[in-house]
Structure 1
């Protein structure tokens, strides 16, 4: 577990680094690959936020008015997911992106607030 904590700390440093050291990132990913049964989860609060929730709700209501209930049901599921993320972010008062290690899990809470957020998000989305 200590190894995972150290890797998460280094990834958190890379998030806000002036210049992203890609060789350092590659090395950290290789270290992550060595941890057996590790699960990495990207939690994208930039995608699921209050703005997105308002748009989904508006779109769902338009589909209901158009009597396109199948599409409205799909949007309702997306709306539920968005509510879950928004409530989580609000409850824990998350303001900045960060990596969080847990037993055999590494969470990347992405809020789009750090200098290298987009690069790391794309990188981890491709790896996961």
Structure 2
């Protein structure tokens, strides 16, 4: 596959992944602050569907990123110091995504003990990672 196609699909799946990973904690905020069981039950379904919907986007983003690394080659990978930091940040985002499954389970079992404020702060993590990844990918500062 042409490297430009790989890049285009990598970015497209990344955008879809981030759209969901930005919205999911907002649902968690609403859920944590809801005082009505009907609303909480509705949010449980929304959270679960969203997380399972965006997980393939995360997988395709990572798979296409790996494919790009192979297309560019080993020598390029070794020299691209900015990419090593980007991979570290994406690894943190993958852990964040996996942690969302734990939070989802807590909500599903009505065992959430975190406040809406926690989820508002939690929601900022992927925003910061996105800014850093974009700067690294486009400016290649190292």
Q: Same fold (TM over 0.5)?
A: no
Instruction: Answer 1 or 2: which has greater strand percent.
Output: 1
Q: Please classify the TM superposition score into its range, dividing by the shorter chain length.
A: 0.3 to 0.5
Whose helix proportion is higher, 1 or 2? 2
Q: TM-score, normalised by structure 2?
A: 0.31
